[in-house]
């Protein structure tokens, strides 16, 4: 859910490119997630408040729990969360978790989360780089759309195929 929340934040910020690096490193006992987007970015004032659960830029509610809960979950495992952002340029969110820590939330259905989000926003380029000692996989919607040769990434059969492909590769 944290991954989906950050991806949704990037889409709301008007990003046309969203990148996610997922690195599982058993040697250092770390799981690192790095989200990068070229969305609207944040001003210094917003950046200073963004981890406050009672702050949000959304007008549909008065709290913004996503980033503060993500930070809390990372810190429970001995990890951390860092955000850098430049107004008009984009945002980078780096999250580190203790990989083997009992309090680390599971990645869940990473393949389903990525593919369904990418299919919901077909005009946004998503690049996901998943890496662990035995896997180095890149999912890039530009490459996929080129291979599809005009078939929509939103086609239910394509979505199912991409989810299965992603799962098999990670």
Q: What's the CATH code, domain 2-169?
A: 3.30.565
Q: What is the mean pLDDT of residues 129-147?
A: 97
Percentage of the residues of the chain whose pLDDT score is greater than 90: 84
By C-alpha distance, which of 51, 86, 64, 82 is closest to 8?
64
Structure confidence at residue 8 as a pLDDT band (50, 70, 90): very high
Q: Is the pTM of this model over 0.75?
A: yes
* Orientation angle between helical segments 110-120 and 2-12, nearest 10 degrees: 20
Instruction: Tell whether the model's pLDDT for residue 33 goes beyond 80.
Output: yes
Q: Using pLDDT thresholds of 50, 70 and 90, give the confidence band for residue 47.
A: confident
Does the pLDDT value for residue 3 go beyond 60? yes
Lowest-confidence segment of 35-39, 55-59, 163-167 by average pLDDT: 55-59
Distances (CA, A) of 144 to 20, 37, 80: 16, 19, 33
Residue 46: pLDDT band with limits 50, 70, 90: confident
Torsion, Cα 104 119 61 44, to 10 degrees, reads: 70
- Summarize the confidence of residues 113-118 as an average pLDDT: 97
Residue whose entry in the numeric block shows the structure tokens 């989360």: 113
The mean per-residue pLDDT over the stretch 69-82 comes to 96
């Amino acid at each position: 859910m944290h991954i989906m929340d950050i991806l949704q934040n990037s889409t709301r910020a008007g990003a046309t490119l969203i990148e996610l690096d997922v690195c599982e490193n058993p040697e250092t006992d770390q799981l690192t997630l790095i989200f990068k987007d070229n969305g609207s970015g944040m001003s210094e004032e917003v950046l200073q408040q963004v981890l406050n659960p009672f702050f949000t830029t959304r007008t549909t509610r008065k709290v913004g729990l996503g980033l503060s809960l993500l930070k809390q979950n990372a810190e429970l495992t001995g990890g951390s969360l860092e955000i850098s952002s430049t107004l008009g340029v984009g945002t980078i969110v780096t999250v580190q978790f203790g990989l083997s820590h009992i309090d680390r939330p599971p990645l869940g259905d990473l393949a389903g989360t990525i593919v369904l989000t990418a299919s919901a926003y077909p005009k946004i380029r998503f690049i996901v780089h998943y890496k662990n000692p035995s896997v180095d996989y890149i999912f890039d919607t530009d490459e996929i759309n080129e291979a599809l040769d005009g078939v929509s990434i939103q086609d239910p059969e394509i979505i199912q195929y991409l989810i299965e492909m992603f799962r098999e590769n990670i």
